[in-house]
Amino acid sequence: MATPRHALRHALDSSTAGLPTGSLQSAGASRPGFRARLRSGLVLGVAAGACAGLITVPGVAAADPGPADLTRMVADAGHQLEVISEQVNQARIQADQQHASADQADKAAAEAQSRVDGMTSQVTQIARSAYTTGDVSRLNAMLTSRSAKDFVAQMGTLDAIAGHQSSVLSQVTATAKAAEKARTKADQAAADATKTLADVSAKQSQLSAQIADYKKQYAALTAPQQQAVTVAAAGRAVAPPGAPVAAPGQGAQAAVNTALAQVGKPYVYGASGPNAFDCSGLTMYAWAAAGRALPHNAAAQMGMGTPVSRDQLQPGDLVFFYSPVSHVGMYIGNGQMVHASTEGVPVQVVNLASMPNYTGATRIG
């Protein structure tokens, strides 16, 4: 049975056969060593996600989809790429956290080992004392005591020394166990981070192929169909505000000003500025200008602020789309938002009402 992907390829080939070329448009080992590999692997751009296979678009008949169906299929494929891109961003966050955990565990293991090493001299002294004195200490105390009271005092001193020695040995044992546990934790954290990096790297070429295939699908549409795809995925574009947008508070004002200053810059999967952006990369970049650090993931950003209803939106609020959340933009007032939407569409201002699948909003205070 032909997959929807194969059906789309066949339908595109059939629907564009004989069209003049002018009707088609192209679309735009040691820890330090481990850290270096991790960083280099993560800056390769769009890398991986939860998608294990090629993009397919369900819900469309396999045979001869019409122009409207083709438009919807390509638009859906573009959205699926954004879903995967946001999953990639989440994987990057996870890898960074695992890398930080590995560094912390390494430090803890080194500190624990240092404490063990520092107690070595005390253990050696205890062993030497036990070897040279044997069990004669109490006999010597009895023979050299001038009175019963003196004998009791000496015995108390010997017991205190023995108690101290026992305490030291207990500390050494506990510290050695802690050091071993810390080393095990460091090794596990490093293994987790290495596995995440391997998963990311293994799927990079697959996602890159999907992006390239989407561009071909988009380019095979007519100009009106391409426009319909753009509106379906990115909303209906409007001119940026002619006057400065007044936002409540200095932070929101800085974020709005920064986001609007990026209008016209290209959309690139996994990008967070300053020359290109994906959706969560743009909002992260804008709020960073206000001194607020947001994660590079739309769903994670939704959990960062205070939920706000649609009728209470203010400039600077983040607005989210789809379920599960896979797209984010910034509200700028007057029923409009600015966002980095999809492949081939630059950062732009659109009417919020034209965006599909509104999910909710949050205010970053």
Each of the 365 residues of the chain gets a pLDDT tens digit; together they read: 333 333 333 333 333 333 233 322 333 334 444 343 333 333 333 333 333 333 443 333 344 566 667 677 777 777 777 787 787 777 778 778 877 877 887 787 777 777 777 766 665 665 555 545 544 455 455 555 565 555 556 555 545 555 555 676 677 677 777 777 777 877 887 788 778 767 766 666 666 777 888 888 888 888 888 888 888 888 999 999 988 899 999 999 999 999 999 999 999 988 999 999 999 999 999 999 999 999 999 999 999 999 999 999 999 999 999 999 999 999 999 999 999 998 889 999 999 999 989 999 999 97
CATH class of the 236-363 domain in this structure: alpha beta
Which residues carry out catalysis? 279, 327, 339
Domain boundaries, the chain: 4-107+187-230, 236-363
Residue 179 · residue 109 · CB < 8 Å: yes
Give the strand order in the sheet containing 348-351.
Answer: 237-238, 348-351, 336-339, 327-333, 318-321, 358-363, 306-308
What is the pLDDT at residue 114?
Answer: 77
Please state whether 2 falls in left (phi above 0), alpha (psi between -120 and 50) or beta: beta
What is the pLDDT at residue 8?
Answer: 32
Tokens 């956290």 locate to 97
What is the pLDDT at residue 165?
Answer: 58
Phi, psi of 4 (to 5 degrees): -55, -35
Q: How far is CA 213 from CA 78, 81, 230, 274, in A?
A: 10, 11, 17, 27
What is the pLDDT at residue 126?
Answer: 55
229/72 Cα distance (integer angstroms): 7
Please state whether 235 falls in left (phi above 0), alpha (psi between -120 and 50) or beta: left
Tokens 């009271």 locate to 149
Phi, psi of 331 (to 5 degrees): -70, 140
What is the pLDDT at residue 129?
Answer: 59
What is the pLDDT at residue 296?
Answer: 93
Q: Which two tokens stand for residue 162?
A: 């023995």
pTM of the predicted model as reported, rounded to 2 decimal places:
0.61
Which is nearest to 259 in space by CA: 359, 357, 336, 365? 336
What is the pLDDT at residue 55?
Answer: 40
